[in-house]
């Protein structure tokens, strides 16, 4: 198989082509909705913008399990427009300018999107210093009136140009790496879509009643997941997300997914951690446990808000988190196989 034709990468590329900053997930949600309805499922949506698929379980009256992946990406937003038409930005989610570098951007105006370039000034004689958002600006080549006509204003989202987002495949042809401007969390969305396809094509059902959720605004506080969990009150909330290789984290980029055991908000349910690890082994892989003192997921934010009694989070191990991220291609199938085994067997 041509690696570019890998089912995870083929679908991921389609999703990556659609900008989806927090609060502006509508276009990506439309793509996800079509993928789900093309498989023959009914899709619900709510006022927050979340998408939801309900699946009956073989165990009548069993605990309801919500499996969630968020549709939003880290971004920046316009803070102010200068008289010369340059833009000053602040971050939306965990994006830092040094992760972007001087790169082409898309400014998503209310009327139309325009191109720009992030500028950090002259390199000659600049010396070494930490770059913060107040140190950079976006060159647009347009006057304030032209920007206003495009609907650019304070709060307008700004994302990297899709032309530089990838994905790219590199390294050992037999076990390659994949790089892209953030797998977070389109690859979680891909995994849930592949799960739905597997269930449809095989005729299998989840063991327990399942909610497959595609959520909004995770990067800015898990807002969509909280709205959904407050309404549905699932017994378990499991986020399908990534595991960043933070300093000191005992993670390897070897194709094994990772599983969160704690983060800055809460510990994860140790029984669920054990059960997901067992599912991975049964599926022919292994999960790498990791403890974070930073970061949070939809699952921990829901749990910390008292909206679900048990929570877990697992997904691809990735280098360069919140930047041009790198993961092992094999990890995406291992995520799927682990999830399939858990969904169809947990609670037996």
- Domain boundaries in the chain? 3-73+182-345, 75-161
Of the candidates 191, 201, 198, 179, the one whose C-alpha atom is nearest the C-alpha of residue 325 is: 179
CA–CA distances in Å: residue 314 to residues 70, 120, 129, 222, 235? 13, 36, 36, 16, 18
In whole angstroms, give the CA distance from residue 25 to residue 27: 6
Q: What is the CATH number of domain 75-161?
A: 2.40.30.40
Q: What residues contact residue 224 under an 8 Å CB cut-off, 6+ apart?
A: 48, 49, 50, 70, 72, 215, 216, 217, 218, 298
DSSP secondary structure letter of residue 320: S
3-73+182-345 belongs to CATH 3.40.50.2000 = no
C-alpha to C-alpha distance for 101 and 201, rounded to whole angstroms: 44
- Determine the pLDDT at residue 121: 83
Which residues, 6 or more positions from 181, have their beta carbon under 8 angstroms from its beta carbon?
A: 16, 160, 164, 165, 166, 323, 324, 325
DSSP annotation string for 172-198: -TTS-EEEEE--TTHHHHHHHHHHHHH
* pLDDT at site 127: 66
Is the distance from CB of 318 to CB of 178 less than 8 angstroms? no
What's CA 23's distance to the chain center, in Å? 14
Structure tokens at 57: 């379980």
Distance CA 171, CA 222 (A): 35
For 142, residues 6+ apart whose C-beta sits below 8 A from its C-beta are 85, 114, 150
Closest to 95 measured CA to CA, from 110, 80, 77: 77
- Whole-model pTM: value is 0.96
pLDDT of residue 1: 52
Q: What is the pLDDT along the chain (348 residues), one digit of tens a residue?
A: 567 789 999 999 999 999 999 999 999 999 999 999 999 999 999 999 999 999 999 998 899 999 999 999 999 999 999 999 999 999 999 999 999 999 999 999 999 999 999 999 877 666 677 889 999 999 999 999 999 999 999 999 999 999 999 999 999 999 999 999 999 999 999 999 999 999 999 999 999 999 999 999 999 999 999 999 999 999 999 999 999 999 999 999 999 999 999 999 999 999 999 999 999 999 999 999 999 999 999 999 999 999 999 999 999 999 999 999 999 999 999 999 999 999 999 986
């Amino acid at each position: 198989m041509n690696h570019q034709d890998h089912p995870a990468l083929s679908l991921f590329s389609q999703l990556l082509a659609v900008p989806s900053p927090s609060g502006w997930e509508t276009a990506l949600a439309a793509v996800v909705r079509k993928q789900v309805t093309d498989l023959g499922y009914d899709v619900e949506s709510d006022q927050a913008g979340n998408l939801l698929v309900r699946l009956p379980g073989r165990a009548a009256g069993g605990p309801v399990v919500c499996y969630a992946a968020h549709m939003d990406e880290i971004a920046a937003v316009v803070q102010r427009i200068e008289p010369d038409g340059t833009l000053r930005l602040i971050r939306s989610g965990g994006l830092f300018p040094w992760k972007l570098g001087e790169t082409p951007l898309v400014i998503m105006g209310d009327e139309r999107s325009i191109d720009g370039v992030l500028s950090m000034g002259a390199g000659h004689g600049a010396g070494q210093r930490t770059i913060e958002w107040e140190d950079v600006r976006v060159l647009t080549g347009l006057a304030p009136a032209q920007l206003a006509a495009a609907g650019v204003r304070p709060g307008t989202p700004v994302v990297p140009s899709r032309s530089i987002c990838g994905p790219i495949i590199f390294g050992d042809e037999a076990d390659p790496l994949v790089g892209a401007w953030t797998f977070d969390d389109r690859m979680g969305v891909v995994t849930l879509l592949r799960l739905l396809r597997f269930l449809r094509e095989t005729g299998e059902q989840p063991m327990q009643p399942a909610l497959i959720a595609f959520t909004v605004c995770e990067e800015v506080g898990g807002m969509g997941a909280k709205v959904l969990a407050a309404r549905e009150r699932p017994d378990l909330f499991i986020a399908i997300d990534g595991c960043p290789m933070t300093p000191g984290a005992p993670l390897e980029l070897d194709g094994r997914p990772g599983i969160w055991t704690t983060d800055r908000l809460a510990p994860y349910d140790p029984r669920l951690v054990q059960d997901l690890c067992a599912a991975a082994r049964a599926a022919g892989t292994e999960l790498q446990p990791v403890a974070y003192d930073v970061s949070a997921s939809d699952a921990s934010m829901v749990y910390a808000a008292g909206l679900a009694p048990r929570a877990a989070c697992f997904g691809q191990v990735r280098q360069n988190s919140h930047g041009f991220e790198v993961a092992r291609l094999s990890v995406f199938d291992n995520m799927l196989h682990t999830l399939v085994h858990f969904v169809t067997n947990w609670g037996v």
